[in-house]
Structure formats: C-alpha cells, structure tokens
C-alpha cells in the first residue's frame, strides 16, 4: 500500500515535518503503509482552512437542502464503493469482513439520514406579549474537531461529520494512527463533490501530538471525542481553557441481564454477538453477564458450547472472530485474563490462537470468567477484548444493583418475556441505551447514543445530535 497523505484545504499533503507513521495489518502484523505524522503546525493549517471556509461567503450561501444533496452524494459514493471500503476497514481494524460491510452501510446511512435533516433544523416562536414577536434560530457553531478512535473508523467518522456538515459547520477530523484508511477515503469522495475546499479536513498523527494540538486549539468551537476516560478528561480540561462545548463517549462496562423466563436461544445468541463483535473491541460490548441465580448453571453451560463454536481467523476470510488490533492491546487484554486465573475461574477460552499463515496476528479465544468479585478490576474496568465476566442475582433489585455497580453507564441488555419486569429494570438502570430482548438494534442510526456517569455525556446519532453542532439565537421584534 502506498504512503498516504493528509487532506487539508482541498489538497493532499505530507506533514510539514516530513515525518511518517507506519501502520500494520492486524491479521499478521505486517506493514501496510505509512501516514503523515501530523503535528501542531499541521493542525494549525487545517484549523485555519476550516475557519476560512466557515466564514466564506461561498459556504454561508449554500442552502441547507444543497448541503443535503452533497451528503446524499456521499451516501451514494459509499454504497457504490462498498467492496473497497469494507476491505480497507478489515485491513485496518482486523474485523470480519461481514462486520466491515455492516459498518460501511451504517456510514452510508449516517450521510443519508443527516442529508434528509439538513433543511429541517428549525427554531420556534415563543409567545411573549402583544406587540412582540419572539423566535429562535439555530446557527452553526463553527469549526468542529472530531477525534476518532481506532475500532470503528468509518462509522464514527461518518456519524459526527455528517451531522456537523448538515448543520453548516466545517470539520477537522483527526484519525487514530492505527486506522486511517477509510477516513482518508471519505476525503477522496468529498473531494469529488461540490463541497467547498476547507469544509472537510483530515489530519493524521499521534494522539499526544496532533490530537492534543487539535483539542487545545483556540479556534476550534466544538470537540467530539470517542475514546478512553483518561483522554476524555484531558480533552475536557482543554475545552475548558477555550470555553468550548464537548461531546464525549468514553466507553462502557455494559451488562446483559438474563432472567430465567427469557427466550433462551435469542438470549444466548445476543450475549455471544455482543462480546465477540470486533473481537470485543467495542465501547458498547456486552462485557458483563448477569444471570438469574436459579438459571445460571444451565445458561452458562449452553453459552460455553456457543463460545467453543466461534470460528477464529483473519477478517478477510470472514471468521466469527478476528484478531486483536495490536500487541499493546493484546497484552492489556491478556493481563486481565492472567488475573482471572488467580482470582476466579476461566470456564472457557483465555488462550492465544495460532492461525496458520497469520502467525504474527494476535488471535484470542473468546473467554468466559466466573467466580470473581464484582469489585474486581476484571468486573470494573473496560477490557476491550472478547472477555466476558459472569455474575448471578436473586431478584430484580440485585440485578439493578449489579448493573449499576460500575463507573460506566453506556448500554444494558435485558432478556425476559415479562414486559413489566423489563420496564421496571429500565426505570432503574443508569445507562444511555437499553435494549429489551435484543442488543444493538442493527446500528440504530436514528437512536440517540451516549452514556451516563464515566461513559461520557452528550448524545450522538439521531436528530438530537444536530444540537451538538448548533447554537441557539433568540430574536425579539417589537412591532407596536
């Protein structure tokens, strides 16, 4: 693969320093190519281009429905090139090809969804008194920064940038240094549309260099970040210095709550999918399993057999479970499993898998851990691998206590045929998304997504995300 370039102000550029970063194929850890190692000077150039574009007469006079046309064109380009994009996403992240195709379709849907919303962002009239007309207007917020994680690059790049552009903002997107391929391909597609230069920019580089420079830049008006709690804290501090709003999605330790009256096969399949998707490298992964006590032995026995049938191999061959992204990530996941052998019981999995022809890849058996304390780091911290910890509860109250018993609150799955019971759980669980008898709802483009507690704040997806990228102006007219 060729050495790639950044996209700034409608042009393809190397870093000003000339430095590059090598990135690897997770399937075998072989080099795929290089990206520019953008630094502060490169970020300054991109933000300056975005500011100039935002204030230009050209961008300001493009009508909302015309912005929608551009986003619709992007959706069409993504679908037209779905094979190339899915293969790039799999090469970059390592995920099974079928999952990459789903991500590509989700990206198209984000552009399509926000294209339809572009000319429907409306204010409201407010009754004040006779002789005064009062109304609100939603203006674009300005230059928006989008700091993208490595696990779902095409989806997460698309969901926030489409909403930002739909509302009339300009974008500087910083990719994860491990996974830049599809974001740069989106830049190619934008370049082929009528989008004015400088409206969409892509910076590549390291988080502590390019990412830090972007999040601290005084001419950025909003920051969207998906990633770790530690980095989220730093971004909040940076935003506070510049008095700009942030939207943060900081991960999760999400539970599936399984009652004895569940649809057994649906619950088993849902639990498996929620932890093996993208090798468990998913912020919303169902990484904790809470089972009604009198049903635990049966459910775990059946689940263990499901885990043993999971196929493991390179993403392009579309096995159920692809590799862990990198050695650093694999070592982190492995450290939790080592601790599990000491603190509890690993009832299946937990071993590295040697895949013939791909010996350099970090493949891991899907793992179930039992008999650990719910206060353990294994139960409390985000592992970000195909590792499931299990617990039991006697009644609904204990199920809720366990579900709420971490610092996170992103997603919860509830499996029961008793709809009243399900709603009682929903009322008490502190999570941004709750699923009853399903988990994930096919990507849920229209459904607001975000967390409680340390999972972050603000919401992406759905119509509510448009508010992230607008500011409210009130106008009062006295006519008497």
Which residues form the catalytic set? Answer: 249
What is the Cα–Cα distance from 296 to 303, expressed in whole angstroms?
10
The answer to whether residues 108 and 78 touch, using CB atoms and an 8 Å cutoff, is yes
DSSP element (H, E) containing 329: helix 327-343
**DSSP SS3 for 318:** coil
Q: In what order do the strands lie in the sheet with 470-478?
A: 125-126, 132-140, 470-478
What is the Cα–Cα distance from 475 to 154, expressed in whole angstroms?
39
The answer to whether residues 4 and 25 touch, using CB atoms and an 8 Å cutoff, is no
Residue 432, CB-side half-sphere exposure with 13 Å CA sphere: 27
Q: Treating both helix axes as pointing N-terminal to C-terminal, what angle do 296-308 and 264-276 enclose, rounded to 10 degrees?
A: 50
Indicate left, alpha or beta for 466 from its phi (over 0: left) and psi (-120 to 50: alpha): alpha
Diameter over CA atoms, the chain: 83
DSSP element (H, E) containing 53: helix 40-55
What is the Cα–Cα distance from 231 to 249, expressed in whole angstroms?
11
| Pairing relationship of beta strands 6-8 and 286-292 according to DSSP bridges | unpaired
Residues 392, 457, 49, CA angle at the centre, nearest 5°?
Answer: 140
32 CB neighbour count, 10 Å cutoff:
17
DSSP element (H, E) containing 347: strand 345-348
Q: What is the DSSP string of 78-120?
A: HHHTHHHHHHHHHHHH---HHHHHHHHHHHHHHHHHHHHHTT-
């Amino acid at each position: 693969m060729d050495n790639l370039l950044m996209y700034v102000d409608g042009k393809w550029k190397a870093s000003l320093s000339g430095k590059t970063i090598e990135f690897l194929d997770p399937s075998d850890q072989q080099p795929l190519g290089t990206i520019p190692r953008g630094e502060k000077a490169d970020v300054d150039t991109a933000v300056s281009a975005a500011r100039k574009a935002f204030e230009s007469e050209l961008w300001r006079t493009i009508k909302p429905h015309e912005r929608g046309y551009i986003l619709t064109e992007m959706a069409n380009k993504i679908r037209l090139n779905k094979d190339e994009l899915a293969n790039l996403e799999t090469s970059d992240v390592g995920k099974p090809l079928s999952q990459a195709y789903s991500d590509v379709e989700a990206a198209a849907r984000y552009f399509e969804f926000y294209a339809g919303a572009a000319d429907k962002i409306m204010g409201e009239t407010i009754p004040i008194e006779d002789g005064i007309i009062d109304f609100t207007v939603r203006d674009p917020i300005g230059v928006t920064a989008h700091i993208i994680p490595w696990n779902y690059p095409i989806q997460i790049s698309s969901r926030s940038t489409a909403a930002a552009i739909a509302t009339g903002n300009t974008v500087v997107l910083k990719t994860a240094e491990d996974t830049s391929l599809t974001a740069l391909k989106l830049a190619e597609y934008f370049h082929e549309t009528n989008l004015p230069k400088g409206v969409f920019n892509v910076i590549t580089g390291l988080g502590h260099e390019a990412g830090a420079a972007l999040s601290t830049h005084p001419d950025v008006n909003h920051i969207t970040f998906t990633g770790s709690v530690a980095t989220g804290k730093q971004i909040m501090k940076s935003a506070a210095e510049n008095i700009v709003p942030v939207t943060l999605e900081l991960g999760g330790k999400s539970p599936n709550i399984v009652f004895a009256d569940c649809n057994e096969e649906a619950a088993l399949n849902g639990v498996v999918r929620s932890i093996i998707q993208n090798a468990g490298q998913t912020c919303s992964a169902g990484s904790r399993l809470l089972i009604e006590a009198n049903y635990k032995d049966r459910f775990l026995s059946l689940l263990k057999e499901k885990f043993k049938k999971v196929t493991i191999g390179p993403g392009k061959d579309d096995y159920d479970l692809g590799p862990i992204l990198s050695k650093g990530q694999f070592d982190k996941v492995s450290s939790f499993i080592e601790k599990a052998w000491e603190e509890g019981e690993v009832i299946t999995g937990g071993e590295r898998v040697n895949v013939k022809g791909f010996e350099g890849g970090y493949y891991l058996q899907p793992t179930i851990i039992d008999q650990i304390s719910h206060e353990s780091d294994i139960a409390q911290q985000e592992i970000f691998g195909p590792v499931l910890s299990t617990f039991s509860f006697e009644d609904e109250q204990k199920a809720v206590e366990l579900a709420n018993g971490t610092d996170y609150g992103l997603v919860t799955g509830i499996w029961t045929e008793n709809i009243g019971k399900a709603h009682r759980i929903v009322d008490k669980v502190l999570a941004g998304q709750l699923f009853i008898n399903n988990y994930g709802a096919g990507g849920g483009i229209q459904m607001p997504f975000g967390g409680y507690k340390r999972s972050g704040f603000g919401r992406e997806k759905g119509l509510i995300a448009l508010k992230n990228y607008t500011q409210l102006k009130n106008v009062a007219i006295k006519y008497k």
